[in-house]
Structure 1
Amino acid sequence: MQFKALTAAALLSLSSAACVPRPSELPAGSRFSLMALRSASPVHFATFSATKSSLFLNLPDQDATCDVEDPGYATFYLNEGGLYLYAASATPQQIYADRSGMGQGKLGYITGAQPPPRNAELDGWVVDEYGNLSLDGAGFLACPDSIQGSWSLWIDAGVEQPAGNSDCLGISARTVEVTDPISCQYTS
Protein backbone atom coordinates (compact mmCIF):
# COMPACT_ATOMS: atom_id res chain seq x y z
CA MET A 1 0.00 0.00 0.00
CA GLN A 2 2.78 2.39 0.94
CA PHE A 3 4.67 1.47 -2.29
CA LYS A 4 1.61 2.46 -4.38
CA ALA A 5 1.39 5.81 -2.61
CA LEU A 6 5.09 6.50 -3.20
CA THR A 7 4.81 5.48 -6.86
CA ALA A 8 1.79 7.76 -7.33
CA ALA A 9 3.64 10.64 -5.64
CA ALA A 10 6.70 10.09 -7.88
CA LEU A 11 4.53 10.08 -11.04
CA LEU A 12 2.73 13.21 -9.88
CA SER A 13 6.03 15.02 -9.32
CA LEU A 14 7.25 13.98 -12.79
CA SER A 15 4.07 15.22 -14.46
CA SER A 16 4.30 18.49 -12.49
CA ALA A 17 7.89 18.96 -13.65
CA ALA A 18 6.68 18.84 -17.26
CA CYS A 19 4.44 21.85 -16.52
CA VAL A 20 7.27 24.05 -15.24
CA PRO A 21 7.71 27.00 -17.61
CA ARG A 22 10.87 27.11 -19.67
CA PRO A 23 12.84 30.32 -19.96
CA SER A 24 11.93 32.53 -22.90
CA GLU A 25 14.10 31.87 -25.90
CA LEU A 26 14.24 35.57 -26.78
CA PRO A 27 17.89 36.62 -26.42
CA ALA A 28 18.70 39.97 -24.85
CA GLY A 29 18.82 42.78 -27.43
CA SER A 30 16.57 40.89 -29.84
CA ARG A 31 14.25 42.41 -32.36
CA PHE A 32 10.83 40.77 -32.32
CA SER A 33 7.31 40.88 -33.65
CA LEU A 34 4.27 40.38 -31.45
CA MET A 35 1.59 37.79 -32.07
CA ALA A 36 -1.82 37.81 -30.36
CA LEU A 37 -2.88 34.66 -28.59
CA ARG A 38 -6.60 34.23 -27.91
CA SER A 39 -7.80 30.77 -28.82
CA ALA A 40 -10.94 30.44 -30.98
CA SER A 41 -11.07 34.17 -31.75
CA PRO A 42 -10.64 36.27 -34.92
CA VAL A 43 -7.35 37.64 -33.55
CA HIS A 44 -5.63 34.35 -32.61
CA PHE A 45 -2.15 34.42 -34.21
CA ALA A 46 -2.68 37.98 -35.59
CA THR A 47 0.46 40.14 -35.69
CA PHE A 48 0.77 43.61 -34.20
CA SER A 49 0.92 46.51 -36.66
CA ALA A 50 1.65 50.19 -36.13
CA THR A 51 0.14 53.22 -37.84
CA LYS A 52 -1.19 56.66 -36.92
CA SER A 53 0.58 56.56 -33.51
CA SER A 54 -1.38 53.46 -32.42
CA LEU A 55 -1.12 49.66 -32.48
CA PHE A 56 -3.54 47.27 -34.21
CA LEU A 57 -4.27 43.63 -35.08
CA ASN A 58 -5.43 42.43 -38.51
CA LEU A 59 -4.54 45.78 -40.10
CA PRO A 60 -4.49 45.37 -43.90
CA ASP A 61 -1.99 48.22 -44.53
CA GLN A 62 0.19 49.87 -41.88
CA ASP A 63 1.52 52.41 -44.43
CA ALA A 64 5.05 52.38 -42.98
CA THR A 65 8.12 53.67 -44.82
CA CYS A 66 10.60 50.79 -44.75
CA ASP A 67 14.09 50.11 -46.13
CA VAL A 68 12.54 47.36 -48.25
CA GLU A 69 8.93 46.31 -48.77
CA ASP A 70 6.75 46.78 -45.66
CA PRO A 71 6.42 43.33 -44.05
CA GLY A 72 2.88 44.11 -42.85
CA TYR A 73 3.75 43.83 -39.15
CA ALA A 74 5.68 45.96 -36.68
CA THR A 75 9.08 44.99 -35.29
CA PHE A 76 9.91 45.91 -31.68
CA TYR A 77 12.80 45.86 -29.23
CA LEU A 78 13.24 46.47 -25.50
CA ASN A 79 15.77 48.89 -24.06
CA GLU A 80 16.06 49.46 -20.30
CA GLY A 81 12.36 48.72 -19.72
CA GLY A 82 11.19 50.81 -22.67
CA LEU A 83 9.48 49.27 -25.72
CA TYR A 84 10.41 50.68 -29.13
CA LEU A 85 9.49 50.20 -32.77
CA TYR A 86 12.56 49.07 -34.68
CA ALA A 87 14.16 51.54 -37.08
CA ALA A 88 17.78 51.90 -38.08
CA SER A 89 17.42 55.70 -37.91
CA ALA A 90 18.47 57.78 -34.93
CA THR A 91 14.87 58.84 -34.30
CA PRO A 92 13.29 56.16 -32.09
CA GLN A 93 9.55 55.60 -31.85
CA GLN A 94 8.69 54.60 -28.28
CA ILE A 95 5.55 52.77 -27.14
CA TYR A 96 3.56 54.22 -24.24
CA ALA A 97 0.47 53.24 -22.30
CA ASP A 98 -1.96 55.49 -20.45
CA ARG A 99 -3.71 53.52 -17.71
CA SER A 100 -5.22 56.60 -16.06
CA GLY A 101 -8.99 57.06 -15.85
CA MET A 102 -8.79 59.28 -18.92
CA GLY A 103 -6.57 56.96 -20.97
CA GLN A 104 -8.26 53.67 -19.96
CA GLY A 105 -5.26 51.71 -21.27
CA LYS A 106 -4.56 53.69 -24.46
CA LEU A 107 -1.54 52.32 -26.32
CA GLY A 108 0.40 54.50 -28.70
CA TYR A 109 3.85 55.63 -29.72
CA ILE A 110 5.77 58.86 -29.80
CA THR A 111 8.63 59.85 -32.08
CA GLY A 112 11.99 61.34 -31.12
CA ALA A 113 11.72 64.53 -29.08
CA GLN A 114 7.90 64.48 -29.09
CA PRO A 115 6.74 64.64 -25.45
CA PRO A 116 4.63 61.73 -24.18
CA PRO A 117 0.98 62.34 -23.26
CA ARG A 118 0.35 63.55 -19.71
CA ASN A 119 -0.23 60.16 -18.01
CA ALA A 120 1.89 58.03 -20.33
CA GLU A 121 3.97 55.18 -18.95
CA LEU A 122 7.11 54.56 -21.00
CA ASP A 123 8.92 52.00 -18.83
CA GLY A 124 8.00 48.69 -17.23
CA TRP A 125 7.76 46.52 -20.33
CA VAL A 126 8.91 42.94 -19.68
CA VAL A 127 8.92 39.56 -21.38
CA ASP A 128 7.96 36.73 -19.04
CA GLU A 129 9.27 33.17 -18.93
CA TYR A 130 6.69 32.12 -21.55
CA GLY A 131 7.76 34.81 -24.03
CA ASN A 132 4.72 37.05 -23.39
CA LEU A 133 5.12 40.82 -23.28
CA SER A 134 3.39 42.82 -20.56
CA LEU A 135 3.52 46.21 -18.88
CA ASP A 136 4.44 45.43 -15.28
CA GLY A 137 2.29 42.28 -15.54
CA ALA A 138 -0.70 43.93 -17.26
CA GLY A 139 -1.85 42.16 -20.43
CA PHE A 140 -3.53 43.48 -23.55
CA LEU A 141 -7.06 44.02 -24.86
CA ALA A 142 -8.06 43.93 -28.53
CA CYS A 143 -11.22 45.75 -29.60
CA PRO A 144 -12.92 45.21 -33.00
CA ASP A 145 -14.20 47.69 -35.58
CA SER A 146 -11.21 50.01 -35.77
CA ILE A 147 -9.54 51.52 -38.86
CA GLN A 148 -9.59 49.39 -42.04
CA GLY A 149 -11.59 46.73 -40.16
CA SER A 150 -8.70 46.10 -37.75
CA TRP A 151 -8.72 45.61 -33.98
CA SER A 152 -7.34 48.42 -31.79
CA LEU A 153 -4.92 47.43 -29.04
CA TRP A 154 -5.05 48.57 -25.42
CA ILE A 155 -3.21 47.68 -22.24
CA ASP A 156 -5.50 46.13 -19.63
CA ALA A 157 -6.23 48.93 -17.15
CA GLY A 158 -9.21 47.19 -15.55
CA VAL A 159 -11.66 48.68 -18.07
CA GLU A 160 -13.38 45.92 -20.06
CA GLN A 161 -14.56 48.18 -22.90
CA PRO A 162 -12.09 51.12 -23.09
CA ALA A 163 -13.14 54.35 -24.82
CA GLY A 164 -16.64 53.01 -25.45
CA ASN A 165 -15.46 50.05 -27.52
CA SER A 166 -17.50 46.85 -27.29
CA ASP A 167 -16.71 43.15 -27.64
CA CYS A 168 -13.09 43.59 -26.55
CA LEU A 169 -11.02 40.48 -25.85
CA GLY A 170 -8.14 39.91 -23.47
CA ILE A 171 -5.10 38.62 -25.35
CA SER A 172 -1.54 37.52 -24.66
CA ALA A 173 1.19 39.19 -26.71
CA ARG A 174 3.74 36.53 -27.61
CA THR A 175 7.17 37.68 -28.74
CA VAL A 176 8.55 36.10 -31.92
CA GLU A 177 12.21 36.78 -32.63
CA VAL A 178 12.92 38.50 -35.96
CA THR A 179 16.41 37.49 -37.04
CA ASP A 180 16.58 39.81 -40.06
CA PRO A 181 14.57 42.89 -39.00
CA ILE A 182 13.32 45.41 -41.53
CA SER A 183 13.82 49.02 -40.51
CA CYS A 184 10.58 51.04 -40.75
CA GLN A 185 9.33 54.49 -39.85
CA TYR A 186 5.69 54.27 -38.80
CA THR A 187 3.17 57.08 -39.40
CA SER A 188 2.18 59.40 -36.59
Structure 2
Amino acid sequence: MKFTTTAALASTLALASAAACPKPDAAAQSAPYPSTPDAVNIFRLNALITTGPYQQNATIQAYKGGLGINVKQNASCADANSNYISLFVDKTNGNLGVYSDYPPITAYVDRSGMGQGLLRFSTGVAPPLPKNAERGPWKITKDLDLVFAPTNGENGLQACTSDGGKTFSVWLRGVNPAGGYKECYPFVGQVLPVPENLLNKCAYNDFGTN
Protein backbone atom coordinates (compact mmCIF):
# COMPACT_ATOMS: atom_id res chain seq x y z
CA MET A 1 0.00 0.00 0.00
CA LYS A 2 1.32 3.42 -0.92
CA PHE A 3 1.25 6.01 1.87
CA THR A 4 1.24 9.76 1.36
CA THR A 5 1.85 12.29 4.11
CA THR A 6 -1.17 14.36 3.10
CA ALA A 7 -3.59 11.44 3.06
CA ALA A 8 -2.24 9.93 6.26
CA LEU A 9 -2.37 13.28 8.03
CA ALA A 10 -5.99 13.85 7.05
CA SER A 11 -7.12 10.42 8.22
CA THR A 12 -5.07 10.55 11.40
CA LEU A 13 -6.43 13.96 12.38
CA ALA A 14 -9.96 12.64 12.09
CA LEU A 15 -9.21 9.54 14.14
CA ALA A 16 -7.22 11.47 16.74
CA SER A 17 -10.04 13.93 17.40
CA ALA A 18 -12.69 11.23 17.56
CA ALA A 19 -10.95 8.52 19.55
CA ALA A 20 -8.10 9.85 21.66
CA CYS A 21 -9.39 13.27 22.73
CA PRO A 22 -12.50 14.47 24.57
CA LYS A 23 -15.49 15.01 22.28
CA PRO A 24 -15.18 18.50 20.77
CA ASP A 25 -18.04 20.99 20.62
CA ALA A 26 -19.68 21.90 17.33
CA ALA A 27 -17.71 25.13 16.90
CA ALA A 28 -14.39 23.35 17.35
CA GLN A 29 -15.36 20.62 14.92
CA SER A 30 -16.16 23.17 12.22
CA ALA A 31 -12.93 25.14 12.72
CA PRO A 32 -10.12 24.27 10.28
CA TYR A 33 -6.86 22.74 11.46
CA PRO A 34 -3.76 24.89 10.93
CA SER A 35 -2.34 24.24 7.49
CA THR A 36 0.90 26.23 7.70
CA PRO A 37 3.88 25.76 10.06
CA ASP A 38 3.59 29.24 11.57
CA ALA A 39 -0.03 28.58 12.56
CA VAL A 40 0.80 25.45 14.58
CA ASN A 41 1.04 25.82 18.35
CA ILE A 42 0.55 22.68 20.45
CA PHE A 43 0.66 19.40 18.54
CA ARG A 44 0.74 15.65 18.83
CA LEU A 45 3.31 13.68 16.85
CA ASN A 46 2.67 10.58 14.78
CA ALA A 47 5.23 8.20 13.29
CA LEU A 48 4.49 7.32 9.67
CA ILE A 49 6.72 4.28 9.05
CA THR A 50 6.56 3.25 5.39
CA THR A 51 9.69 1.08 5.04
CA GLY A 52 10.66 -2.26 6.55
CA PRO A 53 8.45 -4.96 8.05
CA TYR A 54 6.70 -2.76 10.66
CA GLN A 55 4.82 -0.24 8.50
CA GLN A 56 2.33 1.77 10.54
CA ASN A 57 1.02 5.19 11.47
CA ALA A 58 1.35 5.33 15.25
CA THR A 59 1.06 7.88 18.04
CA ILE A 60 4.29 8.92 19.78
CA GLN A 61 4.57 8.86 23.57
CA ALA A 62 6.92 10.13 26.25
CA TYR A 63 9.14 7.22 27.28
CA LYS A 64 12.21 6.81 29.50
CA GLY A 65 13.42 10.38 29.14
CA GLY A 66 12.80 10.52 25.40
CA LEU A 67 10.12 9.47 22.93
CA GLY A 68 8.68 6.05 22.18
CA ILE A 69 6.16 4.35 19.91
CA ASN A 70 3.61 1.73 21.04
CA VAL A 71 4.55 2.19 24.68
CA LYS A 72 2.62 3.26 27.80
CA GLN A 73 3.89 6.63 28.97
CA ASN A 74 4.45 7.34 32.65
CA ALA A 75 2.31 10.45 32.96
CA SER A 76 -0.77 11.87 34.66
CA CYS A 77 -2.95 13.70 32.15
CA ALA A 78 -6.10 15.81 32.17
CA ASP A 79 -7.54 13.16 29.87
CA ALA A 80 -6.81 10.05 31.91
CA ASN A 81 -7.41 7.78 28.92
CA SER A 82 -4.86 9.47 26.67
CA ASN A 83 -1.47 8.03 25.79
CA TYR A 84 0.41 10.65 23.77
CA ILE A 85 2.82 13.52 24.37
CA SER A 86 1.88 17.11 23.53
CA LEU A 87 4.70 19.20 22.04
CA PHE A 88 5.45 22.65 20.64
CA VAL A 89 8.28 24.34 18.75
CA ASP A 90 9.32 27.61 20.41
CA LYS A 91 8.91 30.28 17.74
CA THR A 92 11.71 32.41 19.21
CA ASN A 93 14.58 29.90 19.39
CA GLY A 94 13.37 26.71 17.68
CA ASN A 95 13.56 24.57 20.81
CA LEU A 96 11.25 21.57 21.03
CA GLY A 97 9.24 21.76 24.24
CA VAL A 98 6.66 19.67 26.08
CA TYR A 99 3.23 21.13 26.81
CA SER A 100 3.17 20.78 30.58
CA ASP A 101 3.24 22.81 33.78
CA TYR A 102 6.30 24.67 35.06
CA PRO A 103 9.25 23.94 35.08
CA PRO A 104 9.81 23.70 31.31
CA ILE A 105 10.71 20.42 29.62
CA THR A 106 12.92 20.80 26.53
CA ALA A 107 14.44 18.36 24.05
CA TYR A 108 18.11 17.92 23.22
CA VAL A 109 19.94 15.70 20.77
CA ASP A 110 23.43 14.26 20.50
CA ARG A 111 24.54 13.74 16.90
CA SER A 112 28.14 12.87 17.79
CA GLY A 113 29.68 9.46 17.28
CA MET A 114 29.02 8.71 20.92
CA GLY A 115 25.43 9.94 20.92
CA GLN A 116 24.46 8.41 17.54
CA GLY A 117 21.35 10.61 17.29
CA LEU A 118 20.17 10.34 20.89
CA LEU A 119 16.96 12.30 21.57
CA ARG A 120 16.17 13.15 25.17
CA PHE A 121 14.40 15.80 27.27
CA SER A 122 15.58 17.76 30.30
CA THR A 123 13.59 19.64 32.94
CA GLY A 124 14.27 23.11 34.33
CA VAL A 125 15.13 26.64 33.27
CA ALA A 126 18.27 26.42 31.10
CA PRO A 127 19.63 23.20 32.66
CA PRO A 128 23.20 22.31 31.64
CA LEU A 129 23.48 20.19 28.53
CA PRO A 130 25.46 16.94 28.38
CA LYS A 131 28.64 16.97 26.31
CA ASN A 132 27.99 17.24 22.53
CA ALA A 133 24.27 17.92 23.06
CA GLU A 134 22.26 20.48 21.07
CA ARG A 135 18.86 22.01 21.78
CA GLY A 136 17.87 22.94 18.26
CA PRO A 137 16.59 24.41 16.16
CA TRP A 138 13.66 22.20 15.29
CA LYS A 139 11.33 23.01 12.42
CA ILE A 140 7.86 22.15 11.20
CA THR A 141 8.05 21.81 7.43
CA LYS A 142 5.47 23.03 4.91
CA ASP A 143 4.11 19.45 4.88
CA LEU A 144 3.67 19.62 8.68
CA ASP A 145 6.52 17.22 9.43
CA LEU A 146 8.89 17.69 12.37
CA VAL A 147 12.64 17.77 11.67
CA PHE A 148 15.80 18.81 13.49
CA ALA A 149 17.10 21.71 11.39
CA PRO A 150 20.57 23.07 12.27
CA THR A 151 22.53 25.13 9.75
CA ASN A 152 24.45 22.10 8.46
CA GLY A 153 21.38 20.19 7.28
CA GLU A 154 18.06 18.77 8.38
CA ASN A 155 17.71 15.48 10.25
CA GLY A 156 14.54 13.42 10.25
CA LEU A 157 13.59 10.78 12.79
CA GLN A 158 13.93 7.02 12.99
CA ALA A 159 12.27 4.31 15.06
CA CYS A 160 14.56 1.74 16.68
CA THR A 161 13.43 -1.61 18.05
CA SER A 162 14.93 -4.57 19.86
CA ASP A 163 11.74 -6.58 20.31
CA GLY A 164 10.72 -7.31 16.75
CA GLY A 165 8.69 -4.16 16.19
CA LYS A 166 6.47 -4.38 19.27
CA THR A 167 7.86 -1.09 20.66
CA PHE A 168 10.25 1.57 19.37
CA SER A 169 12.55 4.27 20.69
CA VAL A 170 12.77 7.51 18.69
CA TRP A 171 16.20 8.72 17.52
CA LEU A 172 17.52 11.17 14.95
CA ARG A 173 18.52 9.62 11.64
CA GLY A 174 22.20 9.26 10.85
CA VAL A 175 23.47 6.08 12.50
CA ASN A 176 21.56 2.89 11.72
CA PRO A 177 21.10 0.96 13.87
CA ALA A 178 21.63 3.45 16.70
CA GLY A 179 22.14 3.12 20.42
CA GLY A 180 22.63 -0.63 20.52
CA TYR A 181 19.26 -1.41 18.96
CA LYS A 182 18.90 -4.27 16.48
CA GLU A 183 16.86 -2.43 13.85
CA CYS A 184 16.05 1.20 12.99
CA TYR A 185 13.63 2.50 10.36
CA PRO A 186 13.25 6.10 9.16
CA PHE A 187 9.82 7.64 9.57
CA VAL A 188 7.97 10.86 8.89
CA GLY A 189 7.20 12.73 12.12
CA GLN A 190 3.69 14.00 11.35
CA VAL A 191 2.62 17.10 13.25
CA LEU A 192 -1.03 16.87 14.32
CA PRO A 193 -2.18 20.31 15.59
CA VAL A 194 -4.40 20.19 18.69
CA PRO A 195 -7.30 22.68 18.91
CA GLU A 196 -7.19 24.88 21.99
CA ASN A 197 -10.31 23.37 23.54
CA LEU A 198 -8.81 19.85 23.26
CA LEU A 199 -5.42 20.57 24.84
CA ASN A 200 -4.37 17.75 27.16
CA LYS A 201 -1.83 18.87 29.75
CA CYS A 202 0.14 16.10 31.47
CA ALA A 203 2.62 15.73 34.31
CA TYR A 204 5.44 13.56 32.94
CA ASN A 205 7.42 11.41 35.36
CA ASP A 206 10.28 10.19 33.15
CA PHE A 207 12.05 13.47 32.35
CA GLY A 208 15.09 14.35 34.44
CA THR A 209 17.43 17.32 34.62
CA ASN A 210 19.54 16.00 31.71
Aligned pair partner of 1:154 in 171, 177, 185: 171
- Name the TM-score, length of structure 1 as normaliser: 0.78
What is the Cα-based RMSD across aligned positions, in Å?
Answer: 2.1
Superposition pairs for residues 109-124 of structure 1, below 5 Å?
109-113=121-125, 114-124=127-137
CA contact (8 A) 1:144 1:151 kept: yes
Cα 1:69–1:43 change in 2 (3 A) is: farther
The alpha carbon displacement at 1:150 in A equals 1.7
- Structure 1: gaps of 5 or more residues: 1-22
SS of 2:179's partner is: helix
Q: Quote the residue 1:86 is aligned against.
A: 99
Distance of 2:63 and 2:124 partners within structure 1: 16
Aligned-partner residue type, residue 175 of structure 1: V
- Structure 2: gaps of 5 or more residues: 1-33
Aligned pair partner of 1:37 in 31, 48, 53: 48
Cα 1:46–1:58 change in 2 (3 A) is: same
Percentage of matched positions with identical amino acids: 32
The one-character-per-residue Cα deviations of 1:52-104 (angstroms, maximum 9, x if unpaired) are 21110111x101022341510101001120001111x2211101111011100
Q: Quote the residue 2:23 is aligned against.
A: none
The alpha carbon displacement at 1:29 in A equals 5.2
Work out which of the two has the higher radius of gyration on C-alpha atoms and give 1 or 2: 1
Length, aligned pairs only: 162
SS of 1:162's partner is: coil
Aligned pair partner of 1:166 in 149, 161, 182: 182
Distance of 1:169 and 1:160 partners within structure 2: 8
Distance of 1:185 and 1:51 partners within structure 2: 13
The one-character-per-residue Cα deviations of 1:133-171 (angstroms, maximum 9, x if unpaired) are 10012001101136xx42011011x21111221221011
Cα 1:95–1:166 change in 2 (3 A) is: same
Question: Which segment is superposed worse, 176-185 or 27-36?
Answer: 27-36
Aligned pair partner of 1:107 in 112, 119, 124: 119
